[in-house]
Structure 1
Amino acid sequence: MPINRAPKAALRRAALARRRALPAAEVARRSEQLRAGLWQHFPVPEWHWLHVFLPLLAKNEPDTWSIIRQLWAAAPAPRLAAPVVQRDGISLKHYELTPATPLIASRWGIPEPVPAPAAEVLPAQLDAVLVPLLACDRRGHRVGYGGGFYDRFLAQCRPGAKFIGLSLLDDEPLAEIADVLPTDVPLHACLTPGGVWNF
């Protein structure tokens, strides 16, 4: 991307437009590269709990279902947790995701586990979190959709948990996002179809 320093709103618009322009077959191909890259670059079998977002396919988000299905079939492999937006509209809770977990579409059309108290997973239990993003910079700061859900969530995770962004766009990290907030939680890495950037 030619822009090296820009505010989040401009970066968000540009990245969304480029991602939406990807044909379905290309989204599938790049999502498969992300799946393979996760196992290649990270110690997945060592994790006990991995948090994974469920994709909004209408917005050409990375199709994390290939990652999920591989983890369900693998041994050893971490248990999976997925987010549910709460009624306050600003916070998340997290529930175990298994092949038997019933799902329901959120108000945005995102699949979410049907909340069951016994299946709740606390942020402090997580070893790694796969984070949706549209762009990131060389310090690991990310551009998301602007709701702040993940920054609030990541701030609750234990020290040592690994935060890994997933991007379908093979861009180098930007030099700097211009309007990073004190509450923004940086990533430790960003996985793209072409490889991984560590911060």
Structure 2
Amino acid sequence: METTKAALRRAALARRRALTSAEVAQRSRQLANLLFAHFPVAQWRWLHVFLPLARKNEPDTWPLIHRIWDEKLPVRPAAPVVQPDGISLKHYELTPTTPLLTDRWGIPEPLADPATEVAPAQLDAVLVPLLACDQQGQRVGYGGGFYDRFLAECRPGTLFIGLNILDDEPVLSLADVLPTDVPLHACLTPSQVWNFR
């Protein structure tokens, strides 16, 4: 059964809003545990991590970031900053001392410092926010296209891993996939890893 991105987006946002802060925290820890259990995180050099938009109950990525720091893993996290053009992202290394600013949507962002900028081609894996996905790895985001533009800039071989705070199976297929949409290689839900390629 095909379904549209708009329909899935509305349903997922409503269900995410219904989650309590305790549920978001527990599910976020489960996502982090699955990432470390199923992917060679310590073998990566650079991991792109989105920082959570708390008011939309996005997965809290801070537990996995702190695990990288606390365990002194060699992988280095990088986080996105929305550019003044309103449609593109740049990425900067995230360390325990990185100053954070809040953008106009309420998302924390690292201070944009040219000395800590990380090019998309350097990334070994990208954690991608999403609301839903299909069995081909096509994702439903907020509709701005930020991540599709960004993922298209990454080098071949970079892993694209979606994080879904909802424990949903991928739908069969999306009816309105665009030529510019970039599919995921995998998606994590709190209880399962879905591999698409």
What CA distance in whole angstroms lies between the structure 1 residues aligned with 2:97 and 2:9? 35
Please, which runs of 5 or more residues in structure 1 have no aligned partner?
none
Aligned to 1:198: 195
Match of 1:20?
17
Asked whether 1:135 is paired with 2:132, we answer: yes
Which secondary structure does the structure 2 equivalent of 1:196 belong to? strand
What's 2:31 paired with? 34
2:121 to 119, 124, 132: 124
Consecutive unaligned residues of structure 2, counting only runs of 5 or more, are: none
Tell me the residue number matched to 2:89.
92
How far residue 128 of structure 1 moved from its aligned partner, in angstroms, is 0.1
Quote the Cα distance in structure 1 between the aligned partners of 2:70 and 2:173.
Answer: 39
Give the aligned partner of residue 157 of structure 1: 154
C-alpha offsets along residues 59-85 of structure 1, whole Å, 9 cap, x if unaligned?
Answer: 100000001100111233310100000
> Alignment partner of 2:160: what SS?
strand
Q: CA deviation at 1:9?
A: 0.7
Aligned partner of 1:19: which letter? R
Shift of 1:195: 1.4
Moved over 6 A (4+): none
Letter in 2 for 1:46: Q
Mapped to 1, the partners of 2:111 and 2:42 lie a distance apart of: 27
Q: Which of these residues, 143, 146, 160, is aligned with residue 146 of structure 1? A: 143
- Equivalent-residue separation in structure 2 for 1:193 and 1:99 (angstroms): 26
Measure the CA separation in 1 of the matches of 2:76 and 2:55: 27
**Paired residue for 1:171?**
168
**Aligned equivalents of 1:76, 1:32: Cα separation in 2:** 18
User: Could you report, residue by residue, the CA deviation over 1:148-180 in whole angstroms, capped at 9, with x for unpaired residues?
Assistant: 000000000000000000001111110001100
* Partner in structure 2 of residue 108 of structure 1: 105
Aligned length in residues:
196
CA distance in 1, matches of 2:26, 2:2: 30
Q: What is the percentage of aligned positions where both structures have the same residue?
A: 72
Q: What do the CA deviations read for 1:14-68 (whole angstroms, capped 9, x no partner)?
A: 0000011011111111001011111001011110000000000111000000011
3-state SS in 2 of match to 1:81: strand
Q: Secondary structure at the match of 1:9?
A: helix
Matched, 1:187 2:178: no
